Structure 1
Amino acid sequence: MKGVLETQVMHSPALESNPLGDPSRRELTVYLPPGYQGGTGRYPVVYFLNAFSGSGKSWTNFSAFSVSVPERLDALVAAGTIPPVIGVFPDGWTSLGGSQWVNSDAIGRYRDFLAKDVVGFVDRTYRTLPKALSRAVVGHSSGGYGALVMGRYHPEIFSHLSAQSPDAYFEYCYLPDLPKAASAMLKAGGVEAWYKDFLLRSRETKARGEDFAVINILAMAAAYSPKKGEPLNLELPFDAQTGKLRLEVWNRWLVHDPVRFVPKFVDAFRKMKTVFLDCGSRDEFNLRWGARMVAEDLKNGGVELTHEEFEDGHTGVNYRFERSLAVIGPRLAAE
């Protein structure tokens, strides 16, 4: 790499005393472009949000014969495809595997963690351009969902976003996994019993392939239907004995569906200078259709949008960040 990666440790007031007991001190991986060290100039910043089951460290994991996202970012800067930027990779890991980057009574205040604590720390620590026009937020899958959350709530902080294969149209991406979760909970004897057994076997040996759908539904319930006093402080959207959909809970989930909230908050998205949205045509979680619906709503709302589909599935598509960054990078306001 021509730039450098460094690791900081930051404290997050937003995550203090979070319900899961996860640490409020978090590592923060930061990419600094060539010329930053020893220079005096200020730089735009791109914030990368990790997907479900990922963390800030996931971005730098070695993968045979492939290239990491920080390496792709470095190559784009070196080639002059995008101007020099600072890249920030915050740690959104939770004990349930993720937060959807929302504020939740069952998980913690991860929207505030990013929008207040991480952005504030980065602006205090590095030579940034501390304004929305010089900030972008990007992510894939749950990270892409998080980028849409930031667009909904914080256009005053981020003027550019990229949502790549984001969770959207919950009937297609989550509903198929509800019976799987219901069966696992019934067999285990409840939410807490299943979760305890899952953690034990994951640490002693390894998680089973069928576990992903179950822990994913638990994490989504913690994000979308938290309820203090319930097991893990969450309500499941199905009856524990019959598997019947509990519409009063499921409707709480739907409020958080981008297909539902984007049209209601289109004024916020209209404030964005760049919105990039993509999804693979063979996405295994059916997210292609949610992306198409969100794209239609954004366009109908007068949002300037780049929407693309590509011939691939959901995983192993980090190469798409080269495309999203090529769209966003030149539009970031420089010094």
Structure 2
Amino acid sequence: MHGSLLELEIDSQALAGNPLGDPARRPLLCWVPPGGAAGLPAVYFLHGFAGSARGWLNVSAFQPTVPERLDALVAAGEVPPFVAVFPDGFTALGGTQWINAPAVGRYQDYVAEDVVRLVDARLGTVPRREARAVVGKSSGGYGALCMGRDRPDVFAHLGCHAGDAYFEYCYLHDLPQAAAALLGAPDAAAWLDDAKQRARETRLAGADHPVLNVLAMAAHYAADPAAPLGLALPFELPSGRIREDVWSRWLEADPVRFVPRALEAYRRLASVFLDCGTRDEFHLRWGARMVAEALRAGGVPVVHEEFEGGHMGTSWRYDASVRHLVPRLARGA
């Protein structure tokens, strides 16, 4: 590697006292090119559900890690130097959507305020919105879309890889599987405790993942302080019937719905990159198409690409977003 990887620690004011009791002190990985970070723009990478800051360093056979990919792009002169920032968003529910959620915590503020402030102060990156991009995949892509809507004062560039969108396609099929699993548990909190115990003793089963996904998404989209885990389930038990009042709250949080209502914010962005695989197992290509269509109709500069592939094993696609966004980042004071 030509550049260097730094592991910092951040004590987040935004995460202090969060409802899940998750730590406010987090690791923060940064990749810095040769010559240092001072005076450079920065790209903030938001990992997907069940990811972590250190997860960006996981090695797959014959494949470079994402920091190694970025290092190679800069070393080859394919993009100008920049700083890559990898915050940690793991939670007691398995992950975050990188938003401010009453049942989970203020993860959007954590990134847009605490992490950005620390990086600018410690590394000397350019302290301007035009010099910052936020990029993510899956739940991280969803978080990036929300960041573009809510914090264009902090980020002027956005990249979304297979972000959660069009919830009828990407979430609805998980609901009956989650209902079946929860039918045999005293409540959602008891099921989650049991799943964590199984993971400690052996591993999570494939059938556990839809349940974890539904619980985590419910916590982000439909908080209920009076219910176990502080979330409203989107279905009734024992019948399994969808609770329309709760499901409608999920849909309000769907980018396909909120992007057309937030075009004024998205028009403040200097560049937007979207992509998704044509065989994405969560059917996210359709949501990406709808979001791209809405942005174009609203006069937002957007590049939308599709590629042959699924949802997993697509880290090579960060090359595409970085090639598009990094040359457009502002430089200098």
TM-score between both structures, scaled by the size of structure 2: 0.98
- Cα distance in 2, alignment partners of residues 329 and 312 from structure 1: 24
Runs of 4 or more, structure 1, over 6 Å off, are none
The equivalent of 1:30 in structure 2 is: 30
Aligned residue runs from structure 1 range 147-162, under 5 A: 147-162=144-159
The equivalent of 1:2 in structure 2 is: 2
Q: CA deviation at 1:295?
A: 0.7
The equivalent of 2:286 in structure 1 is: 289
Write out per-residue CA displacement over residues 232-253 of structure 1, whole angstroms, 9 at most, x where no aligned residue.
0000110021110101000111
The equivalent of 1:259 in structure 2 is: 256
Q: CA deviation at 1:189?
A: 2.8
The equivalent of 2:60 in structure 1 is: 63
The equivalent of 2:230 in structure 1 is: 233
Aligned residue runs from structure 1 range 1-335, under 5 A: 1-36=1-36, 41-335=38-332
RMSD between aligned residues: 0.8
What SS does the corresponding residue of 1:326 show, helix, strand or coil?
Answer: helix
- Cα distance in 2, alignment partners of residues 57 and 218 from structure 1: 24
What SS does the corresponding residue of 2:14 show, helix, strand or coil?
Answer: helix
Write out per-residue CA displacement over residues 300-334 of structure 1, whole angstroms, 9 at most, x where no aligned residue.
00011100000000000000000110000110111
- Cα distance in 2, alignment partners of residues 74 and 195 from structure 1: 39
What SS does the corresponding residue of 2:315 show, helix, strand or coil?
Answer: coil
Which stretch shifts more, 61-70 or 21-30?
61-70
- Cα distance in 2, alignment partners of residues 308 and 67 from structure 1: 22
- Cα distance in 2, alignment partners of residues 220 and 274 from structure 1: 28
Q: CA deviation at 1:265?
A: 0.2
Q: CA deviation at 1:143?
A: 0.5
Write out per-residue CA displacement over residues 39-58 of structure 1, whole angstroms, 9 at most, x where no aligned residue.
xx411000000100001111
- Cα distance in 1, alignment partners of residues 128 and 241 from structure 2: 48
- Cα distance in 2, alignment partners of residues 101 and 166 from structure 1: 12
Q: CA deviation at 1:285?
A: 0.3
Structure 2 gaps of 5+ residues are none
- Cα distance in 2, alignment partners of residues 36 and 191 from structure 1: 48
